[in-house]
């Protein structure tokens, strides 16, 4: 009876060894790293892939730990991963590294499964299976690098676009400023700052047209400086320019916002008074005449007298054009100059 039990036990043991051998052959044939550890996390099995990967001696690794088998740069991270898997108590995933025989770094996605005794539930070992994810990792890193470079390019492009937009805005403002300056120069007398001939006529035409449409009126004043050529010849053009500028200041100061001033010749100035009568124009011209004669101008301690003559006219329904009104003022100015100067004379149709 005992002999039969022994023979049965022997057959059962042989069958178990065969199954273990088959299981080992299966694990050895897996093309990914496979390992098994005991309750103390010491190695009890490693397939050829993982042994070759870390250059582990297949005849001298059983019972050892990672810090005894693996390169220092990888040992601690693998041991920490083991501890975390045990603490978790269920299947866990981690990422570990190794270098091949050529020194090239490989990345592995490792699944670790802790096992426990059925009787008392105590931890009794760890099984791990890894797969090489180096290509995937390299692709991922390449994509991240590409995305980073693309983001840097986008940021650089955005900055460049913002810079260009700002430069366009600034240049546009400069061009607008230059345009305004050019327009001012095109319509402004540079010496006196008054309207030039072109601007004076354009603005006066508008007042004339409005007067015809609304049956209102306006007045025109023409003036020039008495003996201006003599002032220039005697005292020089610098004094002549100063006289013109002083006269322009008086005109600007005494006109309303809707009135039009202008320098249309060397020392000839014109004024169009919006919605004004001949009496309004005469009063203004007389005040200007008085103001001009009070200009105090000296050179080499010599007093230089400054006076001006004025001609005034008024638009009325019989006036054929603005030029007609202006011509009447010119006629009045001629009378003022030929009858003694420094005075105001009016003439209407």
Q: What is the pLDDT of residues 118-165, one digit of tens each?
A: 888 899 999 999 888 889 888 888 888 889 898 988 888 888 888 888
Average pLDDT, the chain: 89
φ, ψ (nearest 5 deg) of residue 32: -115, 160
182 band by pLDDT with thresholds 50, 70 and 90: low
**Rounded average pLDDT over 296-321:** 90
Distance from C-alpha of 316 to C-alpha of 127, rounded to nearest angstrom = 115
**Any idea what DSSP says for residue 257?**
T
Name which residue leads in pLDDT, 18 or 206: 206
Q: Which residues make Cβ contacts (< 8 Å) with residue 112, sequence separation at least 6?
A: 81, 82, 85, 91, 92, 93, 94, 126, 127, 128
Q: What is the pLDDT of residue 349?
A: 65
Least confident of 4-8, 52-56, 215-219, 287-291: 4-8
Q: In what order do the strands lie in the sheet with 268-274?
A: 260-263, 268-274, 218-225, 308-314, 344-346
Looking at the chain, the whole-number percentage of residues with pLDDT higher than 90 is 52
Look at the pTM and tell me if it is higher than 0.95.
no
What would the pLDDT profile of 92-102 be if each residue is shown by its tens digit? 898 888 887 78
């Amino acid at each position: 009876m005992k002999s039969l039990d022994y023979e049965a036990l022997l057959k059962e043991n042989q069958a178990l060894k065969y199954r273990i051998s088959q299981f080992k052959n299966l694990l050895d044939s897996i093309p990914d790293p496979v390992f098994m550890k005991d309750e103390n996390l010491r190695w009890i099995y490693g397939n050829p892939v993982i042994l070759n990967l870390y250059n582990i001696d297949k005849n001298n690794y059983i019972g050892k730990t990672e810090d005894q088998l693996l390169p220092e740069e990888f040992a601690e991270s693998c041991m920490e991963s083991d501890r975390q898997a045990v603490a978790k108590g269920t299947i866990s995933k981690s990422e570990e590294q190794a270098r091949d025989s050529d020194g090239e770094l490989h990345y592995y996605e490792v699944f670790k499964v802790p096992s426990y005794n059925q009787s008392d539930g105590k931890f009794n070992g760890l099984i791990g299976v890894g797969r090489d994810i180096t290509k995937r990792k390299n692709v991922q890193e390449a994509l991240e690098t590409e995305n980073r470079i693309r983001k840097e390019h986008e940021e650089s492009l955005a900055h460049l676009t913002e810079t260009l937009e700002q430069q366009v805005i600034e240049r546009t403002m400069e061009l607008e400023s230059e345009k305004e300056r050019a327009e001012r120069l095109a319509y402004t007398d540079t010496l006196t700052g008054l309207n030039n001939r072109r601007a004076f006529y354009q603005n006066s035409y508008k007042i004339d047209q409005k007067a015809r449409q609304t049956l209102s009126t306006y007045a025109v004043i023409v003036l020039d400086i008495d003996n201006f050529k003599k002032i220039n010849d005697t005292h020089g053009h610098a004094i002549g320019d100063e006289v013109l500028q002083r006269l322009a200041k008086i005109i600007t100061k005494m006109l309303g916002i809707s009135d039009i001033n202008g320098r249309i010749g060397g020392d000839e100035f014109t004024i169009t008074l919006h919605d004004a009568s001949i009496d309004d124009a005469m009063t203004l011209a007389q005040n200007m005449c008085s103001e001009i004669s009070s200009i105090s101008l000296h050179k080499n301690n010599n007093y230089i007298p400054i006076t001006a003559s004025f001609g005034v006219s008024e638009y009325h329904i019989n006036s054929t054009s603005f030029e007609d009104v202006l011509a009447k003022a010119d006629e009045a100015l001629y009378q003022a100059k030929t009858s003694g100067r420094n005075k105001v004379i009016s003439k209407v149709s």
